[in-house]
Amino acid sequence: MKLEFTEDQLAVQRMAREFADEQVAPRAKDLDEKGEYPADLVAKLGELGLMGVAIPPEYGGSGFDYVTYVLAMEEISRACAGTGVIMSVNNSLVCDPLYKYGTDAQKKDILAPLAAGKQLGCFGLTEPGAGSDPAAMRTTVRQVGDELLLSGEKIFITNAPNADWAIIFATEDKELRHKGVSAVLLPLKNHPGVSVGPKEIKMGIRASHSSSICMEEVKLPVSHRLGDRGMGFKVAMTTLDAGRIGIASQALGIAAAALNESLAYAKERETFGKPIAQHQAVAFMLADMGTELDAARLLTLRAAFLKDHKRPFSKESAMAKVFAAEMCMRLTTKAIQVHGGYGYLKEYAVERHFRDAKITDIYEGTSEIQRLVISSHLLKG
């Protein structure tokens, strides 16, 4: 893997950074406090080509790669982690599987507006009794003639209150467990039998809205099945492999913001007659923070590089996700410590970064699940 980025990759990174600094960051505090969905910023992300970064232009995307996606995701998440995860879900969990498993008609009619940012998608896997164990899901789908009938409930679905489409995973044969799961494309707005719950009140990433999705005998054409019957579990797992790269990138952005805030504060805040950055205890904390951030960034870029080159990356994306997420928690904790009592106040951005960080080692596979993935690959030899 080359450690140098192409001119195109750097250009997208610069564009994302400018947008993040000029339009996203100034509103991040207000979006967090109000729990407000940034509809105009999401629309602008679409105009900039950042809602379908790695999707070919013929299907509404920008035609770049996953390394470019990582660079852009870090920049947006550095400014506002909530806005970042809206972008991540649409790219990784919706556009990516649609491009990989969708029919030509699905790509033209559903993927294209999603990748162009004209519509928004979400990923419906988690249920009240099936989070880390998706094979235990109770949502069902059955085919009757040329129709699919979908019933069940999904919870904690990021983007659901604002989304136009959901990829829903449901069992067609409970006895087959994961081999009986299928993926279904569900329109969310004004579709009979579909109800989206109120947004959840969350600790962090409050600009990103999450809710339940309830389905009662929802009728869909068979053409809304994504992939073949019984392929749903494969669709979900391969999608999450890619999604973990997005969440690792979000963690990079949160951590980078916390480090930047800490460096600036440590240079200005004085104790015992000198800036606290000149005290070894603080300087060493900053050194550890910078080192861990770079290590996580390299792991994430490696996973993206492997995906771009069509090489196996499941283990590497799990490594990137678990390390980046746990790094983010450690780093934001140290950022609070560098700021001392001021870090505990909402006036300072590190308080928000600390709250935003925690979700990164929960969603799209907890840190414990990542370790199961990693160890299974290692034990295979």
Task: Enter the tokens of residue 135.
Answer: 């094979």
> Distance from first CA to last CA of the chain, Å, rounded?
22
Is residue 246 within 8 Å of residue 321, measured between CB atoms? no
Q: What is residue 375's three-state secondary structure?
A: helix
Q: 203: number of CA atoms within 13 Å, CB side?
A: 10
Cα–Cα distance, 46 to 54 (Å, whole number):
13
Is residue 338 within 8 Å of residue 275, measured between CB atoms? no
The structure tokens 């579709």 sit at 191
Cα–Cα distance, 332 to 327 (Å, whole number):
8
Residue tagged active-site, from 7, 217, 364, 368: 364
Q: What angle do CA 336, 342, 348 make, to 5 degrees?
A: 80
**Which residues, in sequence order, are CB contacts of 160 under 8 Å at separation 6+?**
122, 124, 154, 166, 188, 196, 197, 209, 210, 211, 212, 213
Q: What is residue 288's three-state secondary structure?
A: helix
Q: 361: number of CA atoms within 13 Å, CB side?
A: 17
Q: What is residue 291's three-state secondary structure?
A: helix
Catalytic, 147? Answer no
From residue 163, alpha-carbon distances to 186, 209, 314 in Å are: 10, 10, 28
Q: Which regions of 88-180 does DSSP assign to beta strands (E)?
A: 121-124, 140-144, 147-158, 165-171
Task: Enter the tokens of residue 136.
Answer: 């235990």
Catalytic residues: 364
